[in-house]
Amino acid sequence: MAMPDYETPVDSARLPRGEHRVVLIVDDVPDNVAPLHDALDDAGYTVLVALDGESAIRRARQALPDMVLLDAVMPGIDGFEVARRLKADASTAGIPVIFMTGLTDTEHLETAFGAGCVDYVTKPIKPREVMARMGVHLKQAREQREGAIERSQARHALDAFGYATITVRASDGRLVWQTPLARDLLRLHCGTEAPTTPSVVLQWLRRHLAEAQAQREPPRLTIENGPRRLTFRLHQRVGDEDTGPRDQGDWLIVMQESSNESVHAALAAAFGLTAREAEVLYWVVKGKINRDIADILGASPATVKKHLERIHMKMGVETRTAAAAMAINRVRQLDTPAG
């Protein structure tokens, strides 16, 4: 595993003026880390101490320190298990953990990194080395947090413009993230809630993965729901780009709802139609047959036929083609018919 560059000047270990950092040191023998405690305190850090695994977990959850310096070998819960529990808890998962250990065998180091640590230092502890390593990982953690905040703000900003976004994991179909507007739209149009991805959306995503991975924008998906429709656009892959070829990745999908209600109102006003008759005429213009219109409106084909007969009478035409042509000529929003 490639290690970060620790060529950090000694003077840079001191915190910049006005910056406040909290460090939790965990060791069952306080004398082992007393010099490190003093050095951190002199550098401007707030230092917390825990003498066993249980109290370390408790203090970390309460204080949410910026860094945990963790002894590997302790009675009771050892450092490896402490790290696993911290990483399993959403509130503490993002806190960098550096192991302090006298264990240098490969298997112990693999266990440490497997438990979620970002680095390790060997005993006896050298305070300046620890602080140099801390500086690297604190900077990385800050950049990750700031990046996550920026991405979240950018995603939620889409809501303000009538867009909504979701993230779907292609491999298992799980909806792993959504904006508030996306949640509401999926409930309304698809009747689903996270972590369930609507089946039609998941099928569309998987069908067009090859295009997306080749950075070609696939065709959009549209779900019709009465006068409203919800359009899905595959935006980009998110997360780790260096995963293996079998990993299909997490995909950010942008959704936008649009409505034909204003068009329906214009049709009704132009030809003296009822709201339902205006809906039927709209779908006639769009090239739908009676059976399709019935499915869209939740009615029977016979009912659609009766509506269409009344539409013909009110418009003074005899065929659906003539009705569609007149509607297009009279209503500006229907200037381009769809097949």
Q: What is the pLDDT along the chain (339 residues), one digit of tens a residue?
A: 334 433 333 344 455 444 568 999 999 888 888 898 999 888 888 999 999 999 999 999 999 999 999 988 888 888 899 999 998 888 898 899 998 887 766 676 788 788 888 888 888 888 888 888 888 888 887 777 766 655 555 555 555 555 688 899 988 889 988 888 888 889 988 999 889 999 999 999 999 988 888 878 888 898 887 667 888 988 888 765 444 444 578 888 988 887 777 788 888 888 999 988 988 998 888 888 998 888 877 788 899 999 999 999 999 999 999 998 898 888 765 654 443
Same structural domain, 132 and 191? no
Residue 68 is assigned to a structural domain of this protein? yes
Same structural domain, 28 and 95? yes
Query: 189-224 burial string, b = 16+ CB within 10 Å, else e?
Result: bbeeebeebbeebbebbeebbeebeeeeebeebebb
Same structural domain, 109 and 185? no
Out of 203, 232, 259, a domain closes at 259
Same structural domain, 237 and 224? yes
Q: What is the pLDDT of residue 336?
A: 45
Backbone angles phi, psi at 119, to 5 degrees: -170, 170
CATH number at residue 273: 1.10.10.10
Same structural domain, 203 and 185? yes
Same structural domain, 189 and 207? yes
Same structural domain, 130 and 251? no
Same structural domain, 298 and 235? no
Q: Which long-range contacts (CB under 8 A, 24 or more apart) does 303-311 make?
A: 304/280, 307/276, 307/277, 307/280, 308/280, 308/284, 310/277, 311/271, 311/273, 311/277, 311/280, 311/281, 311/284
Q: What is the pLDDT of residue 7?
A: 35
Out of 196, 228, 259, a domain closes at 259
Same structural domain, 58 and 73? yes
Residue 309 is assigned to a structural domain of this protein? yes
Structural domain range at position 221: 161-259
CATH number at residue 139: 3.40.50.2300
Q: What is the pLDDT of residue 17?
A: 44
Number of structural domains in the chain: 3
Q: What is the pLDDT of residue 102?
A: 76
Residue 105 is assigned to a structural domain of this protein? yes
Residue 3 is assigned to a structural domain of this protein? no
Residue 46 is assigned to a structural domain of this protein? yes
Same structural domain, 268 and 304? yes
pLDDT one-digit tens code per residue, 177-232: 888 888 888 998 899 988 999 999 999 999 998 888 887 888 889 888 766 788 89
Same structural domain, 27 and 89? yes
Out of 119, 145, 171, a domain closes at 145
**Cross-strand partners of 174:** 196
Q: What is the pLDDT of residue 177?
A: 85
